[in-house]
Amino acid sequence: MAETGRGPYGPYGSYGPYRRLRDGLRAYRLIAAMWIRSTMAYRASFAMTAFGNLAATSFDFVAILLMFSQVDELGGYTLPEIAFLYGVVGVAFGLTDLMIGSMDRLGSRVRDGTLDTLLVRPAPVLAQVAADRFALRRLGRIAQGLFVLGYAIAVLDIDWTPLKVLMVPMMVLSGGLVFGAVFVAGGAFQFVAQDAAEVQNSFTYGGSTLLQYPPTVFAKDLVRGVTFVLPLAFVNWVPALYVLGRPYPLDLPTWVAFAPPLVAAGCCVLAGLAWRAGLRSYRSTGS
Amino acid sequence: MGTGRLYAAVAAGGFRRYATYRVATAAGVFTNTVFGFILAYTYIALWAEKPHLGGYDQAQALTYVWVGQAMFAVMVLGSNGFEAELMERIRTGDIAVDLYRPADLQAWWLAADTGRALFHLLGRGVAPMVCGALFFELALPTDPLTWIACLVAIALGTVVSFAIRYIVALWAFWLLDGAGAMQLTWLTGVFFSGMLLPLNVFPGALGEIARLLPWSALLQAPADVLVGEADPLGTFAFQATWAVVLLAAGRLVQSAATRRVVVQGG
């Protein structure tokens, strides 16, 4: 692989953002492929963990089903409507979890000093950390989310317009990017607080749990917080309530329902800046 | 060193081992509190829709939420406890050294896990509970005897939790890579402990069966004792029976495993 990072520019030539992105994606692909091969060494265990992942993520929905075995509505929403919210956040979060779900291991790498190894390799650190222990079993979560989303779309009586149809993939992709930004920002935080990896789970797993339920369930201040401060509401609440033809509990103009791509882009820029600051502040364990 | 002192030292070691990671403990408390808030609001919506669901009023249901978050680490309902380490020792062959030691394998790990559980009760259990009590109206007992009964139920629950995970860890003698087995155990535990939803809210026969299984000793039993929905003595008897049965089963598996043991590694 002598050509990596050189090419027409030579070893010290200009190294633009496009090449950096291409190198990063290439490194990501190679590392992820390596982990997939490694997983496949224990096939029985892979089958069990993939099934386990599917079952584990189904549990959130099983809890909702158990609730609806006792009631007909929750916070004024029916089961198919909640399934729609659940499916969108399930697929969006599942994509992020598959792609960069290993970011929460960064703290232990900082602690035991193995991050140094990543810094001397000729590939972007973010790509290496994101692909670290790439876990194919996380496809289980995406499959489960798609299944619930499919059920919701089949059962719900929505007045589909081309715009509303387009909004479904838009929500999933922007939502995935919003969660991705949370993962990366959480990774940056772990440079500072190495043992605090679990705090990240509050915002990633906690955030996705929160979004599975309609906003009417929660206190107004909490809804304001995830709309204006940590904009998780743009993953599904704001756009999905437009698709469902439901009013958002906060007074927002209608066009906000189409804002998720902008919000996602903004989150990614902020997360990127946080990551750079975190990486620059890294001092090795020094032992 | 007397046997009792040996296991007391192992338990103290287990306590100190987890007490070392203070930032991680604080992070865990934070996460449990966040999840407690999310669950609490969904339970409020559920009990607003159907008051007295499962025999709980809303305050009791909210108490259940926060007991659940407090027991999350104590009963090892979320992550791995000692079993990951024991499985790794079986996989690498280090277990041979353990079997040579003049200490009982099961009692050794029980002592270490008890130390861990005590730390998690103090370090990860108290703070979310206090936070929940500050922000929500909980059905907390005023009688100190009820609190003591709840602590006894928690203690018995940790033994049941240990006994289940010990059996699972020994599967590694046959499976070598125990990740799948551990995950299945974890899933069963989350479902049947009542972590998803109180077992008394489960519909019909499913609820009846779930309440007879050992996992109901982990969360449902201490919670029911605390909110005054269960007779403490009957609860203790239920938990103790499962503890004895599962510890004995663990011994059987252990003797079967060690009779056929082929130590890994060169």
Examine the predicted complex and report whether its ipTM is higher than 0.90: no
Closest Cβ–Cβ partner in B22, B26, B45 for A75 = B45
How far is CA A78 from its chain centroid? 26
pLDDT at A287 over 60: no
**pLDDT for residue A69 is more than 70:** yes
Q: Residue B236: left (phi > 0), alpha (psi -120 to 50), or beta? A: alpha
Averaged confidence pLDDT in chain A: 89
- For B73-93, b where at least 16 C-beta lie within 10 A, e where not — what string? bbbbbbebbbbbebbebbbee
DSSP state letter for B55: G
Every domain of chain A and the residues it spans: 18-280
Query: Are A253 and A279 contacting, i.e. CB atoms less than 8 angstroms apart?
Result: no
pLDDT of residue B260: 72
The single-letter DSSP state of residue B177 is: -
Higher-confidence position of A61 and B81: A61
B191·A44 Cβ contact <8 A: no
- pLDDT recorded at residue A6: 47
Q: Quick one: pLDDT band at residue A133, thresholds 50, 70, 90?
A: confident
Taking CA–CA distances from B194, the nearest residue in chain A reads A63
Question: What's the rounded mean pLDDT across residues A212-217?
Answer: 96
pLDDT digits (tens, 9 = 90+) for A105-121: 888 888 888 889 889 88
What pTM value is reported for the model?
A: 0.90
Q: Tell me the average confidence (pLDDT) per consecutive run of 10 residues in chain B, 266 residues long.
A: 87 93 91 96 96 94 97 87 87 86 92 96 95 95 95 97 93 78 85 94 93 96 95 97 98 88 59
Please give the pLDDT value at position A266: 97
The answer to whether B73 contacts chain A (CB < 8 Å) is no
Q: Does pLDDT of A55 surpass 80?
A: yes
Matching residue, tokens 């995935």: A176
CA-nearest residue to A204 within chain B is B31
Q: Closest to B196 (Cβ–Cβ): which among A44, A59, A202? A: A59
A21 falls in which pLDDT band (50, 70, 90)? Answer: confident
